[in-house]
Structure 1
Amino acid sequence: MIGKIHKQMSHDSWLFSKMATPEYTPFVFLLLLFQSSVWGVPSCHATKPGMLNVHLVPHTHDDVGWLKTVDQYFYGDRNDIQHAGVQYILDSVVDQLLKNPDRRFIYVETAFFYRWWKQQTDDMQNTVKQLVNEGRLEFVNGGWCMSDEATTHYSAVIDQMTMGLRFLNDTFGHCGRPRVAWHIDPFGHAREHASMFAQMGYDGFFFGRLDYQDRNRRMVAREQEMLWRASESLTPPMADLFTGILPNGYNPPEGFCWDQSCDDPPIRDDPDLEDYNVDDVVTRFLHIAHGQALVYKTNHIIMTMGSDFQYENANLWYKNLDKLIRYVNQMQSNGSEVNVLYSTPSCYLQELHRANLTWPLKGDDFFPYADSAHDFWTGYFTSRPALKRYERISNSYLQTCKQLEVLGGPISRKGPFGAGDSETLKKAMAVAQHHDAVSGTEKQHVANDYARKLANGWAHCQVLVSNTLSSLSGSSAPRVYCEHLNISVCPLTETSKKFSVNVYNPLARPVSWPVRLPVNGTAYSISDAKGKAVDSQVVLSVVPVSQLLFQVQAPPLGYSTYSVSLLQNGPPSPPSPLPRAPKAVQNKVWVFIVTLRDFLSYLFCVCLSRYNASDGNNSESIQMSGAYIFRPNTSTPFIISKTAKIETLQEVRQWFSPWVSQVVRLYTDSRALELEWTVGPVPIGDDLGKEVISRLDSSINSSGVFYTDSNGREVLQRRKDYRPTWNLRQSEPIAGNYYPINSRAYIKDDKDQLTVVTDRSQGGGSIQDGSLEIMLHRRLLYDDVRGVGEPLNETSDIYPEGLVVRGRHLLSLSPPATAADTHRPLAQEVVLQPLITFTDGELHPSTRLEVRERFSGLQAVLPPAVHLLTVSQWDQDTVLLRLEHQYQASESKEHSQPVTVNLQKLFSTLDVLGVSEMNLSANQWKDEMTRLDWKAESGTHHTGVTNQLCLLSPLGRMKTADLL
């Protein structure tokens, strides 16, 4: 069976059936594709031609954690924080839908619905299925949560969408499959999200937030509904997505909120009462409807009737909506041309499609988002950096856990170390994608709860991983997990005289990875799986602990084991005093020259600086910096120290202040320079919040342009003080030029490209030509009045004086023509990093068979252009596989070409028996997918890219031939 990826940046996925070799249990695989889906016509009320049709959409927006935890929101606990109980919302809505067949309701967050569903009786479940089948209850979006779009990685987004959509598919079938993506609350919108939604089969996408200047322009031009061309590599219409901007964010029109949390008066329709108000309500509604129609393109408009955690008493809403529809429509007998109806987003979208119009085309994204002149929502790109890192490494661990679940078979779930599972971590990771989770915009106790759920998921996966590694290696030795290696803590390596290091690589190509282990000895001997000696070094760390440093090699989708033995006890000798002459740390690629002023004379300098946060005491605006909003009180960063204390070994250590330090490392033959930064506790004794940045100043002539990734996939061009779709009036020269950096950013000129790969999502910009700055940490003393209600002032039991955060930036310097060949695999290694486990003493075989110290799940390395995105158990006999072409068109002369993959010869231990192609989210068969076609206006494709990428071939997916 041969698969060919015909287009750049395409994603291919399959369901496979597989046959086991004598050593392994049989499985089945699923093959899937990043692509499209079928349009099924929902049960929609008839509209009236020639009239203004107003689509009322009853809905609730239920955050999967924000001011309260997920559990507290579901049960209605801690109403002293916020009155909200999701279980009561669903109870009440179902009850009210049954009372009037005209009524409609949409629901979004599958994480909550799944929990509610499990608690229902068979009779209630059958009732809900009937409501869904009749189109009276409609699911939109359908992911486990409504994910953030700035700080999420595409692989985690796909996972959480797949989880939610699979539950709806399995539970309700075709009628439960969402047809519309619905991101009404995220704080800016990523192009890659639109591309994924299109490839998941959605016919449209609606959201509520966009920059106030952009909205004003679109209202005047009647361009609030458009066709979003969400990829420059995929052939239209594969990544085209109809996109609509909702008129009131996601709230009802002013004066028409009838929830128990609202203060608007109900419709009082008894004419004998003194406060009868029907005429006033109808007049106001008609005025609002006509006004809204002026800024949209068709005779159909949409109104969201609901808001945060509304409909706990659904009778209040529906009783008034019934009256509103009746009394407004009665005016048609007096010549009114307004027709009001209960509707859903898919019914509204269907009417827009029937209009058969052409729509403006958009090619960039919706970042950054500002809701007024000095209020840029760019701070959350970095908020809660420790949680952002934990989420990222949890994603890596989840992919490893899912792979080993497949490679290990049933023994992985019930093996020598007990019962393990991947589902717990899947759900925790899915919740973490929520737009008030990894974004860092939740209350502190909620952030703690997200981290707790991830830790619980890790614990379940650790049992599974131990079972599989024991089975594959033939060793019964218990596995030890050192989860605090980033702060040089691992009790086993610090005390044991002999131990083994197992390195599992989740990538489909071999990796070379530096391992740094805390130890208490002076010298160690290390041997690889073949018994060959490995070079190593013991060095003093920034913390008062010695570190054992050596390089490991791990095969694709497999592991390698290294044996470590203590040769000599005691700490290493301290370094000799630093000479006054400049020092150089270099390898074959880099020359890193350090002067006493801590500048790098090779093309750029690295400066750790900070902004003082605005406290709102400003003549231009009272806006403060907070969890959401970044607003420094000056446009010039403060240098933390003009000089730094420096030590040079095989690495350079820089102390800029007691709370800011950095280690610069070069590894043999590495094309990357590693900057390990440590920031905190950020001092606040001067009553000023602070936002710490790393600034890279170079001689590159970037001409005000830099580039950032979109959710870790395609790269977009950014230009200082510029927006591709409107004439920007810049009011915040720093915050207004910050963009999300999910995995990498770069600047370039004709000769050089400087790329920074990040280990978590961060915010950054290019404020000066030749410069990149990335925000590392934020500690703030004021709430920014966007709802969270507390300042971003993180502390913990370990760090009561303020949170300390450590992270890494990898710098790559290459000619622009070949830069992608370096930074793409580099970013991939950081996102899917090897999992390191330990065993104490010798590896003992669990049977008479020899211990297998090296293993690969693949027969051969995948081509560099192909990334193995997903290997996951689907059901007892089926496995989900996703492969993707990861290069953009024209990005790489060598790797942007189509690639052929032999699927039958992919795995080393599994024989493929059958394959079925599905869409990206695995909720529809590929050959059943159809999507609505939309016509774009000519000459309206705005893009920030000056040199358009050329498509090298028709956009492709992976094609599969018949099984041999």
Structure 2
Amino acid sequence: MDRSSCLLLFLAIGITCVATQECGYEKCRSLPIKPGMINVHLVPHTHDDVGWLKTVDQYYSGANSSIQRAGVQYILDSVIPQLEAKPERKFIYVEIAFFKRWWDEQDEDMHGRVKKLVDKGQLEFINGGWCMNDEASTHYNAIIDQMTLGLQFLNTTFGECGRPLVAWHIDPFGHSREQASLFAQMGYDGFFFARLDYQDKANRLKLQNMEEIWRGSPNDLGKVADLFTGALFAHYTPPEGLSFEILNNDPPVQDDPRLHDYNVDERVNTALNRSVEQAKYFRTDHIMWTMGSDFHYQAAHTWYKNMDKLIKYTNPGNKVNLLYSTPSCYVYHKNQAADVKWNTNNTDDFFPYADKPHSFWSGYFTSRPAIKGYVRECNNFLQVCKQLEVIAGPLPFTNGGPSSQRFREAMAVAQHHDAVSGTEKQHVAYDYAMRLHAGAVECQEVVSHALAGKMKKGSVEPPAAQFCAYLNVSICPTTEENDHFSVTVYNPLARQVTGHYLRLPVNGQSYTVTAPNGKPVKTQMLKVTQQTAKVRGPRGNATSELVFPVTVEALGYSTYLISRATRTTRSLFMPQAETNVISMAIPQSPRMREDIEIHNEHLSLIFDTTTGHLKTVTNLKNKLILNVQQAFYWYNSSTGNNQDSTQRSGAYIFRPNGTEPFPIHTKGSVITKVVTGALVQEVHQVFSDWVTQVIRLYDGQLHAELEWTVGPIPFKDSLGKEIITRFDSDMQTDKKFYTDSNGREILERELNHRLTWKLNQTEPVAGNYYPVNSRIFIKDNSRQLTVLTDRSQGGASLKDGSLELMVHRRMFYDDNFGVGEALNETGVFGEGLVARGKHYLMLESPADSSQLHRNLGEQLYMAPAVSFTPNTFSTQDWSNNFNMAYTALKRELPSSVHLLTLELAEEDTALLRLEHQYQAADGGTPQTVSLQGLFEPFEVVTSSVEELTLGANVHAEKLHRLSWNTQEGTTGNVSQRCWDPSSATVSLKPMQICTLRFHVKRRW
């Protein structure tokens, strides 16, 4: 009974009734399933990229049709009346970034019509994230955020009927195990994708193993992270010959026998043949056809008219039953096959992906390194912004004040599989960056307001905060142009940060730095390098960098006061570390040919003076010594002129001409100077006029920092180049190395090997590259060499003891996978793009490494946020008027517990995620955290606490996942609750994430 009928009945006889809802799996029980037949689930769908060849706006509006005829608004306009015309018709929609924009443009009448279709199960949301995110170059924090943004919109707009039950990643270029784990923790019952290695697919078809239970966290979360997973048979397009998109060439169903083009028999035979052929490779009598593709259904009637006819004429008298369906109904009926025991042998992932022998999609792990770095920085700042909205309270909503919402949406769009992946056209990449920048600028206002509110003691208003986005190339007008300024450092971690070093561009010879407690801080002055001055160009003019350490309390800030030193203050007040610079002229004298060493109390780095390369790393605490050389190389990008294939390297594909890269080096030593001092020691290396590096050891830190600058990659020799940094050590690693999965769990990799199928390796370099989101390492019995990254990159170990990371790419040709242009980025001055980034090198024993590199990884992606103000106050006046330090926590969280999310859900409601960031293999043990009295600015109203699934759209106690029969027993409907209301505590097992929503009671 629909809502209008219900209303008439109420008026007539005075009873209360509600519209019939067929959401969830209720809608699946009424499908016209026919046992003993091949039930073909026709799934009408459209795949709508949130930017790729066109920008997000252009795709929505249909603009710029010279590139692609695609307008998402017309798809939704067209589909709705077709669903209303016949109740058996279905449609699924995925990308909420587009749907919400369309929804906001509709009137109340259309809202009611759409809700009716959702309630009846005709319009179903699948996946439900803001976008369909990439799985190689995305960080789990950003994945969770973008999924939450979409799922919460669906929840508040459509309620339970809007909740997606199935994940749908039909286009990403390979699939991570962590993604499956996250989907399972969000409560999904199934996960479908289209792209898997062509050899893997052939093997799965042969074994009838296209569908299985994927074990997303076999050693930690266990069955909680198990997920029914299916690889699609025909990519995500319709079966061959059965596409009814208006501009496609497949024949429609012409059923008037009076016409010469009558073709019902041919169309039915095609459907029967495609059904029987596909069914041979699948277990149970249910198969799925994906009836749609990229931006299909702009003229939806052509699809539905022909599918109606295909169903009408195929079903009678045949062993095939075509029916309108959805992925969730397909999963439901798969689950009903009680006699099937599903395989659970996959604990691996689906990287790297190759669609044919010489086309490995491992180039995009590194493509567009600048936007990859910017996305990571923006994620960091977004977490700061969201935290401070909770800590300080939101700016007034009534005034339309700035908030984190724009930034949340821009970051969510940036996780799309043609965004952070680097596989979009250049003008689209610019658009993504501009969206991020606009969101960041609005959040700067939020952060400035929040910090000012916490600083203020009385009636004097603190100066407005200013932000410097280009500190990595020594640009900051506030610090360059003012003799007196303050620096406020906000720490988004739930633990105190000590020994974090700031490097500020300045123009004076020396400066005094005063800590929040009024004591002087030791400083060190360094000259801005020639390479930095070259990269920044005329945008900055600082001559030096002021270096000093800061300490910041958990979830709080510290303000440091800086003044240019006079002779008096230099001698009486400032503890400045002496800096010694040794210039390395070439040719060198015999005395200078001795090895060069820099060290702190933890690490010693020795460089070969003849070559200038890193030679030895020693852990001084553990007495571990590793002989390791680090240098830069380049692979020559294939232009498709090989004898065995015409495949080129491009935005997606990594295909080098040959297996050995070319070294990048100058004649003689690459070291140009050595800088020593009490706070930081540096070795400056010039490998060429377009590749330089500074290796740093800061006082007190357990790792070495390697800051690389690459570009513009030269083009004069007409050779495309893919640049790597490589570490060659004396370890015996048995062809094994280790990479993270989206920043969380670690997966073991083995050279030329796949865990679940026999690999015929056709590309010995590209076929061994894996995504590195946060870290990669190699180890032997006593030593582990770990390299952490500041952005996603491709990495490999191509021989024992060796580890390499690709940092930059530039090519002449497109790889012919759709983007239609070469990956040839230019920088701000019209030359090739210059990329600057950092690697962090650790040497520890394997037993000690795991927790250390996880803690360092947390500090890198949740780094302190720095803001500045010109200072007209004396030190005493500042201290009298403003709070110099603040923490929002009354006690720190344990080192194994990470505060993953703290954000406003509504004005007086917060969303909190606590994460156990250690694996059991790291020595992770269960942890308990009490929420009573945890936060300083507000109380958690414990009676209001709701435990939710990871996507924050379902109450944990209401989640009932499907159970699956497997060779190892049942799996699926397993809960791992974390909230104990009787004690107001959160209990976490290794790798568990607890999601809570609660009311906040502010203390002011």
TM-score, normalised to structure 2's length? 0.88
Q: Which residue of 2 aligns with 1:577?
A: 583
1:590 and 2:603 aligned: yes
The CA distance in 2 between the partners of 1:387 and 1:689, in whole Å, is: 20
Which one of the candidate residues 456, 475, 484 is aligned to 1:498? 484
Q: 1:271 to 1:954 in 2, by over 3 A?
A: closer
> Structure 1 residues 862 and 80 mapped into 2: Cα distance closer, same or farther (>3 Å)?
same
Which residue number corresponds to residue 127 of structure 1?
113
Partner of residue 359, structure 1: 342
Q: Could you say which residue in structure 2 is the equivalent of 1:552?
A: 550
Show CA shifts across 1:215-254 (max 9, x none). Answer: 0000000000000010033343200000011111100011
Q: Which residue of 1 aligns with 2:946?
A: 916
Give the one of 34, 44, 52 matched to 2:38: 52
Deviations 1:174-221 (A, max 9, x none): 011000000000000010110010010001001111000000000000
Trace 1:45-444 onto structure 2 (pairs within 5 A).
45-330=31-316, 332=317, 336-356=318-338, 357-361=340-344, 362-411=346-395, 419-444=401-426
Deviations 1:870-903, CA, capped at 9 Å, x for gaps: 00011122100000111111212xxx01111111
Give the letter for the 1:901 counterpart: V
Equivalences for residues 741-890 of structure 1 within 5 A: 741-796=772-827, 798-842=828-872, 850-890=881-921
Residues 655 and 766, structure 2, Cα contact 8 Å, conserved in 1:
yes
User: In structure 2, which of residues 639, 654, 661 is the aligned counterpart of residue 630 of structure 1?
Assistant: 654
| AA aligned opposite 2:199 | Q
1:51-106 Cα offsets, whole Å, 9 max, x none, are 11000000000000000000000000000000000000000000111111111000
CA distance in 1, matches of 2:104, 2:395: 28
Q: 1:411 to 1:79 in 2, by over 3 A?
A: closer
The one-letter amino acid paired with 2:334 is L
1:665 aligns with 2:676: no
* Matches of 1:586 and 1:939, distance apart in 2: 55
Compute the displacement of 1:646 (Å).
2.7
Cα pair distance change 1:590/1:846, threshold 3 Å: closer
Aligned CA distance change for structure 1 residues 414 and 525 (closer, same or farther; 3 Å): farther
Q: What SS does structure 2 have at the residue aligned with 1:87?
A: helix
* Aligned-partner Cα distance in 1 for 2:949–2:873: 43
Distance 1:867 1:66 in 2: 34
The structural deviation recorded for 1:799 is 3.2
The separation in 2 between residues aligned to 1:193 and 1:244, in whole angstroms, is 14
Match of 1:639 in 2: 663
d(CA) in 1 for partners of 2:221 and 2:649?
41
Please give the alpha-carbon distance, in whole angstroms, between the structure 1 residues aligned to 2:25 and 2:160.
8
Give the conservation status (yes or no) of the 8 Å contact 1:412–1:464: no
Q: Residues 417-446 of structure 1, C-alpha deviation per residue, up to 9 Å, x if partnerless?
A: x93210000000000000000000000000
Alignment partner of 1:927 out of 957, 979, 982: 957
Matched letter for residue 812 of structure 1 = M
Question: How far apart, in 2, do the equivalents of 1:923 and 1:131 lie?
Answer: 21
Between the aligned partners of 2:319 and 2:429, the Cα distance in structure 1 is 50
Q: CA deviation at 1:961?
A: 2.7
Counterpart CA distance in 2 for 1:324 and 1:306 is: 15
Moved more, 586-595 or 676-685: 586-595
Mapped contact 1:234–1:956 kept (Cα < 8 A): no
Shift of 1:39: 5.9
1:111 aligned counterpart, secondary structure: helix
User: What is the deviation of 1:830?
Assistant: 0.9
Is residue 514 of structure 2 the alignment partner of residue 527 of structure 1? yes
Identity %: 52
Confirm or deny: 8 A CA contact 2:24 2:161 kept in the other structure: no
Quick check: 2:39–2:321 contact (8 Å CA) kept in 1?
Answer: yes
Hey, what's the Cα distance between the residues in 1 that align with 2:792 and 2:566? 41
Q: Does 1:648 align with 2:674?
A: yes
Corresponding residue pairs, total: 906
**Which residue pairs with 1:601 in the alignment?**
615
* Equivalent position amino acid for 1:141 in 2: N
Q: Distance in 1 between matches of 2:70 and 2:663?
A: 45
Letter in 1 for 2:856: L
Question: How far apart, CA to CA, are the structure 1 residues paired with 2:720 and 2:741?
Answer: 29
Question: Tell me, what secondary structure is at the counterpart of 2:922?
Answer: coil
1:713 matched to 2:744: yes
1:832–1:246 distance in 2 versus 1, CA, 3 Å: same
Residue 326 of structure 1 and its aligned partner are, at CA, apart by 0.5
RMSD: 2.1
Deviations 1:360-383 (A, max 9, x none): 111111111000000000000000
Structure 1 length as normaliser, TM-score? 0.92
What's the offset of the Cα at 1:288? Answer: 0.9
Aligned to 1:400, what secondary structure does the other structure show? helix
Query: Within 2, Cα distance between the matches of 1:172 and 1:501?
Result: 46
Distance 1:574 1:553, change over 3 A: closer
Structure 1 residue 267, shift from structure 2 partner: 1.1
Taking a change above 3 Å as real, the CA distance of residues 833 and 266 of structure 1, as seen in their structure-2 partners, is same
Change (3 A) 1:557 1:634: same
Report the CA distance between 1:938 and its aligned residue: 4.4
2:4 maps to what in 1?
none
Q: Deviations over 1:661-699 (max 9, x none)?
A: 000000111101000000000001111110000101112
Letter in 2 for 1:750: N
CA distance in structure 2 between the partners assigned to 1:761 and 1:426 by the alignment = 20
Change (3 A) 1:575 1:714: same
CA distance in 2, matches of 1:700, 1:690: 29
Distance in 2 between residues matched to 1:182 and 1:841, nearest whole Å? 53
Aligned residue runs from structure 1 range 667-706, under 5 A: 667-706=698-737
Alpha-carbon distance, 1:940 to partner:
14
Asked if structure 2 preserves the Cα contact closer than 8 Å seen for 1:870 and 1:882, the reply is yes
CA deviation profile, 1:441-470 (whole Å, cap 9, x unmatched): 000000000000000001110111110010
Check whether the contact 1:412–1:465 (CA below 8 A) recurs between aligned residues.
no
CA contact (8 A) 2:671 2:683 kept: no
Equivalent residues of 2:636, 2:722 under 8 A apart: yes
The CA deviation string for residues 265-323 of structure 1, in whole angstroms up to 9 with x for no partner, is: 11111111112111111111111110100000110000000000000000111111001
Change (3 A) 1:72 1:406: same
Q: In 1, are the aligned partners of 2:395 and 2:403 still within 8 Å (CA)?
A: no
**Residue of structure 2 aligned with 1:611, choices 607, 616, 635:** 635
Contiguous gaps of at least 5 residues in structure 2: 1-22, 534-542, 571-575, 585-591, 617-625, 676-680, 986-1004
The structure whose RCO (Cα within 8 Å, separation 6+) is larger is: 1
Alpha-carbon contact 1:500-1:842 (below 8 Å) kept: no
Gaps of 5+ in 1: 1-37, 942-952
| Secondary structure of 2:222 counterpart | coil
Is 1:94–1:128's contact at 8 Å kept on the other side of the alignment? yes
1:41 aligns with 2:39: no
